[in-house]
Each structure stands twice: as structure tokens, then as C-alpha cells.
Amino acid sequence: MESFVYAASAVRVVFGFGTQAALGEEIKRLSCRRAVVLSTPHQRDEAEALAAQLGSIAVGVFADAAKHTPTEVTEAMPASQI
């Protein structure tokens, strides 16, 4: 077996009824001031509602994400939303 190093970032999962309402506080807890809401095209309405809930924290919605997003889709996100 070849040697290798695996390093994983810490993960925090917040799950349960009403946790969506605390998303703004979670973003601030990470010392972030702004966030882009990502979704698939099918979930655009929910993503836009979430962005509206976040108010000025939300930079916008990028609704062209896909599972295992190809590089070209990620690169298509406007730079103004990064």
C-alpha cells in the first residue's frame, strides 16, 4: 500500500425543526459577512426564499448547481456573487 495523507475539515451539521431561521447566525458564527445561496434549478424558489430570509447577508442566488458539479458549471457563477 502506498503512503498517503488524508486531512478533513471539521464538520458542523445543524439539523432540526426551525434551524433554517438560525442560518444567518450560523453564517456570522463562521466570521462571514456575506453568503451565496446555491441550489439546483429545481430548487430555485426555495433558494430565493432563503436568500430573502437572509436579507443583506445574501449576495444572491446561483441556481445552476448540480450534484458533483462539473467545473464549467462552477466557473459559470458570476464573479459578483463570489
Tell me the C-alpha to C-alpha distance, in Å, between residue 27 and each of 6, 11, 16.
27, 14, 17
- 74 phi-psi bin (left φ>0, alpha ψ -120 to 50, beta other): alpha
Q: Where are the beta strands (DSSP E) in 1-82?
A: 35-38, 58-62
Which sequence spans correspond to the domains of the chain?
Answer: 19-81
Please tell me the pTM assigned to this model. Answer: 0.72
Which CATH fold would you assign to the domain 19-81?
A: Rossmann fold (3.40.50)
pLDDT at position 70 is 77
CA 32 to chain centre: 12
pLDDT of residue 4: 82
Q: Is 57 buried (19+), middle (13-18) or exposed (0-12) by CB count in 10 A?
A: middle
pLDDT in tens, 26-71: 999 999 999 999 999 999 999 999 999 999 999 999 998 887 777 8
